[in-house]
A and B are shown apart, each in its own frame.
Chain A
Amino acid sequence: MSRCLSERTLVRLIAGNGRENQRAHLAACDRCDARYRAIGRDLDRVTDVLLHTEPPRRSPSLLPRYWVPVTAAAVAGIALLVWVEITVWRAVTPAPSEEVTAFLSDISATMFSARDALAAGDDSGPGALSDGGGAGGCSSDPLGILGCESDTANEQAR
């Protein structure tokens, strides 16, 4: 005799499926026949429950019915935004490369040194550049922006 039938095959036979040799085994094997009948008894109990008992009560919803879909939609919207931020936005925005970072720090260093230099020039006296009759000229132009012509002109005017 062929091997005994699996539980799955027995259920399949109950549902009307299964092969001819499986049906033949079932007819010849007391053990499988007993298992087959046990499944049938379980199903009888199921039908008995469905026909003669009350379905368990459902719990009433704690949330007002309209808030559930609204909340679900809001959560889904937020999740979508987060997803767009993580995947799409980051994909199209290149991360700063090392070269860019180095360039930015160079710019930064230059700007800070220039500011320091200007600050040092200011220490020579407030209004040194704007004071027309005062001691302007090269001494008040540490970066050489103004040149020294103003000194000469001042000399000639005197």
Chain B
Amino acid sequence: MEGGPSYDDLFDAHARRLQRLCRLLLSDREEAEEVVQEVFLKLHKAQDQGAAPTSWGAWLTRVAVNLCHDRRRAGWWPRWRFRTDRIEDVGLVAREPNPEEAAIGEETLRRIWTAFRRLSDRQREVFVLRHLEGWTTEEVATALGLRTGSVKSHLFRAVRELRAAAGRSFR
């Protein structure tokens, strides 16, 4: 690639982040790994075809989020069948919790995770892109093919639920 980042550079810079992102959206480590593989397959094809987006990071994120969305819409049965008898959720980030996390307490962690999992697909996607990836509302709307008003509405519901889950324990 003349002038642009190489495939390997992009993989090193984004694979781990995308893995975490997909795990948040899919709640399934193995499926997240599959999606990330698919994302980098698409990257390979896109680079072969000479694509040159303004930001490869944003491009990768957009592809990953849309693939996760497609997976979730593929039907409840295949997802459910593969998930029900598997103990999942090994750590997202393998490290010791920091003092603040330790202070939060197991019950609060559980409540936040439960609230997060109960969000709709769209609410989860919007929240992750806006608050974890730091995208603007307009960027989120473009990536997900939604109107900005719709993004704000999804975000409002997500924030309300998550804030309620987190807020109770800190008051």
CA–CA, A139 to B91, complex, Å?
104
Q: Inside 8 A of A65's CB, which chain B residues have their CB? A: 81, 84-85
Minimal beta-carbon separation of A126 from chain B (angstroms): 76
Q: Please judge, given known A-B contacts A11-B156, A57-B89, whether A50 and B24 are in contact too, CB under 8 Å.
A: yes
The answer to whether the Cβ of A75 comes within 8 Å of any Cβ in the partner chain is no
CA–CA, A55 to B118, complex, Å?
13
**Which of A12, A39, A50, A52 has a CB less than 8 Å from the CB of B97?**
A52
CA–CA, A31 to B66, complex, Å?
41
Q: Chain B, interface size: which category?
A: 35 or more
Main secondary structure of the interface of A (DSSP, over half): helix
Inter-subunit contact A11/B163 (CB<8 Å): yes
18 A–B pairs (Cβ distance < 8 Å), ordered by A: A8-B160, A15-B155, A16-B137, A39-B167, A43-B131, A43-B162, A45-B100, A46-B116, A47-B131, A50-B116, A53-B101, A53-B109, A55-B27, A55-B89, A55-B113, A56-B110, A64-B85, A65-B81
User: B residues within 8 Å of A by Cβ?
Assistant: 20, 24, 27, 81, 84-93, 95, 97-98, 100-101, 104, 108-110, 112-114, 116-117, 128, 131-132, 137, 148, 151-153, 155-156, 159-160, 162-163, 165-167, 170
